Amino acid sequence: MKNLFDRAALRFYAAVVRGNLAKAFEMTNTQVLRGAALPKSWTDLLGRKLFLFLLTVQGLGAFALITLGVILNKSGVANNVMRPRIRQEIVRAGLALLPMFFFVALALGFLVVGQTVSALAKVGAIEYLGSTMVIVVVRELGPLLAAMLVLARVGTANVIELGTARAMGEVEALEALGIDPVHYLIVPRVIGMALGIFSLTIYLIIGALASGYLFAFLQDVPMTPGDYFKQIVESLGWLDFALLALKTIAFGFFIAVVTCYHGLAQPLQLEEVSRVAVRAVTQGVIVCVLIDAVFIVLYLVA
Amino acid sequence: MSENQNLPAIELRGVSVAAMRDATFIVVDNVDWLVASGEFWVIGGQEHSGKSDLLMLAAGLMPPVIGSYKLFGNDTKNFGEAELAERLRVGFVFQGGHLFNQMTIAENVALPLQYQKNLVPAEAVREVQALLELMELSPLADVAPSGIAANWRQRAALARALILKPEVLLLDNPLASLGARHRHWWLRFLDELSRGHGQLGGKPMTIAVTADDLRPWQNARRKFALLHEKKFTTLGAWNEVETADHSAVKELLATPVEATM
């Protein structure tokens, strides 16, 4: 542990942070603690866990801020190289997942929406359908499910790709060529994932609501499609649209940051990549739930 | 003509070099090294003597722990965007190449040119093809790095470093794991670069290489240095290397050439 507080190491760390080199993140890694021997007491273990948590939050926070800074400061840099890379990431985190999302939308509609419509009709509470659908599907299930699916499909790929690139020395090679690794490797993934989750959530919600009605129709629920969609539209406010956009973009941004942080910012050996991928997905889920909690508060306050 | 033309390309004074993989571990201490424009340096050292770390520091890829580092006369404390133009005057070739595995050889070579000059692929193709032709890499242009032998990957890495026409070229153990034919090609080509290659502007290039075997680098025009037990020692010209009484130098002269691929 003494190395973390060594004065020369801190000076070196400050220099690489100023230079925005990928090496800066290595210094904030948590491997010293993870690799240490088991502590002798429970309080030591608790302290170590707390310290690990704080180091992870610090590393993720620093990485998120640096990524945001690079997105803003380098928006016009090397457009001819970056635009195709961003398009490629939008396809990967959005378009390529559409077939899976149509299936999930269908399943969600049948399993959740259809049953809810049917149940409300049975107890004579069909007038609450619109607000129930907006709360369950538009505000909660749609965005969260979309985020989880993209995290599983694209987030893990991010960790593995970047971890392998890091282990193979490709990040140092980018720096040697004067190419900012955060700009070249991270920014397209962040933008692609934010736009991908936003778009997929919209498709998922529309698909789930439509297939839900289809399920209810098959169960002879006395409701026309016009009444069904009218109730939903009347329950939607401008805040739902604004917060849905903000929430899905936040999901995309932070999932990309967490997965890229674990792939790029830690000095990895090839054999560590799979273990780090699991850790990144776990932290991605936690971050999404925390973001969701923040937005629940926003909905309640508004 | 640049006003910095007569300044040393690289100047290290009292520099301590940290390991790339562990920033708290000093691999070389108190380095004084001055690389004048047009010089050809060979730095000898055994494995884990800090050759790669020293070279990466000289390229501006990591800062010194202590000491002064000047690139083309500019005291470089930070390594941010403002120093990018200076850094691009230095080309770096990693041991093993460190090519981007998702791209073809031609795309690897084109990337720095496209990124730094904001070109679409069609605008870079002529320059890339000419360089690939010069390096005998044209038949491999559309092949992924994983599909070619290490000999050619190393050569592709050289092409990628040269595409931006650097004034200084730093190469980390370029002859390691190369076959005899490729070693010969490298020594001849680097010598041409050092004298000024006609197809690359004709200006003599400043070159520094690291090596774990000094014998292939025998040449009266080259300068030699030794990395041993965290110390950087300037040896001088080849005749001084041959007559050096240092046991580490003798080891580097007697080291058998690595098995060819």
Q: What is the mean pLDDT of residues A141-155?
A: 94
Contacts of A21 in chain B (CB under 8 A): 61-62, 79
Q: Are B59 and A267 within 8 A, CB to CB?
A: no
Residues whose CB is less than 8 angstroms from the CB of residue B151 and which lie 6 or more positions away in sequence, other chains included: B178, B179, B182, B261
Q: Which of A10, A18, A177 has the most B C-beta neighbours within 10 Å, making it the best mutation to test the interface with B?
A: A177
A240 touches chain B (CB under 8 A): no
Asked if the structure places residue A192 within a domain, the reply is yes
Domain segments of chain B: what residues?
A: 1-79+210-261
| pLDDT confidence bin for A234, thresholds 50/70/90 | confident
Lowest mean pLDDT among A36-40, A125-129, A182-186: A36-40
Q: Give the per-residue pLDDT at A10.
A: 56
Residue numbers in chain B where pLDDT is lower than 70: 1-6, 77-80, 255-261
Q: From B87, which residue of chain A is nearest by alpha-carbon distance?
A: A178
Q: Does any CB of chain B come closer than 8 Å to the CB of residue A10? A: no
pLDDT at position A109 is 87
Residue A8 lies inside a defined structural domain of this protein: no
Task: Write the residue in A6, A15, A178 that is nearest to B88 by C-beta.
Answer: A178
Is there a contact between A173 and B99 if contact means CB atoms under 8 Å apart?
A: yes
Give the pLDDT score at B245: 82
> Is B115–A21 a contact, with Cβ atoms under 8 angstroms apart?
no
Tell me the C-alpha distance between A171 and B191, whole Å. 29
Look over chain B and give the mean of its residue pLDDT values, rounded to a whole number.
Answer: 88
What is the C-alpha to C-alpha distance for residues B85 and B257, in angstroms, rounded to an integer? 38
CB-closest option in B92, B118, B164 to A80: B118
- Exposed e or buried b per residue across A13-39, where buried means at least 16 C-beta atoms within 10 angstroms of its C-beta: bebbbebbbbbbbbbbbbeeeeeeeee
Averaged pLDDT for residues A63-84: 93
Q: Among candidates A269, A253, A279, which has minimal Cα distance to A65?
A: A253
Tell me what ipTM this predicted complex has.
Answer: 0.89
Decide if A19 and B63 are in contact by the 8 Å CB cutoff: yes
Chain-chain contact of A176 with B78 (C-beta, under 8 angstroms): no
Contact A169 B98 (CB under 8 A): yes
* Least trusted range by pLDDT, from A140-149, A246-255, A273-282, B47-56: A273-282
Query: How confident is the model at residue A196, as a pLDDT?
Result: 95
A149 part of a folded domain: yes
Average pLDDT, chain A: 84
In a domain, A20, yes or no: no
The answer to whether residue A148 is domain-embedded is yes
**Per-residue pLDDT, B251:** 85
Residue of chain A with shortest Cα separation from B18: A12
Q: pLDDT (tens digit, 9 = 90+) per residue, A257-269?
A: 999 998 887 666 7
Taking CB atoms and an 8 Å cutoff, what residues of chain A touch B18? Answer: 12
Q: Which phi and psi (to 5°) does residue A272 adopt?
A: -85, -10
Let me know how many helices (H) and strands (E) chain A has, helices first: 16, 0
B119 interaction partners in chain A (CB closer than 8 Å):
80
Closest CB to B61: pick one of A9, A165, A176.
A176
DSSP A153-166: IIIHHHHHHHHHHH
The predicted pLDDT at position B85 comes to 83
Mean pLDDT of A83-111: 93
Tally of domains in chain A = 1
Which residues in chain B have Cβ-Cβ distances shorter than 8 Å to A11? 65
B62 and A18 within 8 Å at the Cβ level: the answer is: no
Q: Does A17 touch chain B (CB under 8 A)?
A: no
Instruction: In whole angstroms, give the CA distance from residue B44 to residue B54.
Output: 12
Give the tens place of pLDDT for each residue, A10-40. 566 555 555 555 454 554 455 555 656 666 7
In chain A, the residue whose alpha carbon lies closest to the alpha carbon of B157 is: A173
Place of tokens 């691999």: B27
Contact B205, B167 (CB under 8 A): yes
- Residue A292 is part of which domain span? 79-301
Q: What angle do CA B162, B166, B172 make, to 5 degrees?
A: 65
% of chain A residues with pLDDT over 70: 86
Query: B96 in contact with A at a CB cutoff of 8 Å?
Result: yes
Answer with the residue of higher pLDDT: A68 or A213.
A68
pLDDT per residue over B238-254, tens digit each? Answer: 888 888 888 888 888 87
A contact residues 19-58, partner B, Cβ 8 Å cutoff: 19-21, 23, 26-27
Give the CATH number of domain B1-79+210-261: 3.40.50
Residue B172's pLDDT is what?
95
Q: Is B116 within 8 Å of A15 when comparing Cβ atoms?
A: no
* Tokens representing residue B66 in the block: 């202590």
- Yes or no: say if A254 and A214 are a contact pair by the CB < 8 Å rule: no
- CA-based nearest residue in chain A for residue B97: A173
d(CA A276, CA B7): 47
pLDDT at A4 over 50: no
Q: Say whether residue B67 is in contact with chain A using an 8 A CB cutoff.
A: no
For testing the chain A interface, which of B30, B79, B114 should be mutated: the one with the most A CBs within 10 Å? B79
Mean pLDDT value across residues A56-72? 91
- Mean pLDDT of the region A205-221: 84
Residues 16-35 of B with CB under 8 A from A: 18, 20-21, 23-24
Please indicate whether, in this complex, the C-beta atoms of A19 and B80 are within 8 angstroms of each other.
yes
Q: Is residue A198 scored above 80 in pLDDT? A: yes
